[in-house]
Amino acid sequence: DAGVTQSPTHLIKTRGQQVTLRCSPKSGHDTVSWYQQALGQGPQFIFQYYEEEERQRGNFPDRFSGHQFPNYSSELNVNALLLGDSALYLCASSFRVSYNEQFFGPGTRLTVL
C-alpha cells in the first residue's frame, strides 16, 4: 500500500515564476491538505481540499492556489514566486472526519533564486 507521494522531490525556480507541485494521497483517503515548512519551523497550514473543493485556508495570499481531482490527487500552484516562498512543501492526506490523523508525504523542496 503506497503512502502519500509527492513530485517533484526538488525544484529550483527564479523570482516571478510559477510552480506546480503534485500529491497523490494514501489509498483510501479522500482529503488532502498542504503545508509550508520553512527551515527550522513547524509546518504552516496552506489549505485543505475535500470533494474537489477548497474547504479551509490558512493565512496565505491568493498566489497560492490548488486543485483536487476526482481521483483525490491534488496540485498546489504558486504564482509570482518570491524568495520567501523557498521552503519544504508537505502534502498530507486523511479520511474525511476531522479527528483523524494525517499522513504526510516526503515533501517537495522548493528553492527560489
Partner 1 sequence: AQSVAQPEDQVNVAEGNPLTVKCTYSVSGNPYLFWYVQYPNRGLQFLLKYITGDNLVKGSYGFEAEFNKSQTSFHLKKPSALVSDSALYFCAVRDRNTGGFKTIFGAGTRLFVKA
| Pairwise CA distance, residues 105 & 97, whole Å | 19
Q: Which region among 10-18, 39-47, 60-68, 70-78 touches partner 1 (by CB under 8 A)?
A: 39-47
Q: By CB under 8 A, tell whether 34 contacts partner 1.
A: no
The answer for residues whose C-beta is within 8 angstroms of residue 11's C-beta and 6 or more apart is 19, 21, 108, 109, 110, 111
Q: By CB under 8 A, tell whether 53 contacts partner 1.
A: no
User: Which residues within the stretch 86-105 sit at the binding site for partner 1 (CB under 8 A)?
Assistant: 90, 92, 94, 98-99, 101-105
| Pairwise CA distance, residues 36 & 44, whole Å | 5
Residue of 10, 16, 24, 21 lying closest to 46 (CA atoms): 21
Is the Cβ of residue 51 or residue 80 nearer to partner 1 in the bound state?
51
Binding site for partner 1 (CB under 8 A): 4, 31, 33, 35, 40-45, 48, 55-56, 58, 90, 92, 94, 98-99, 101-107
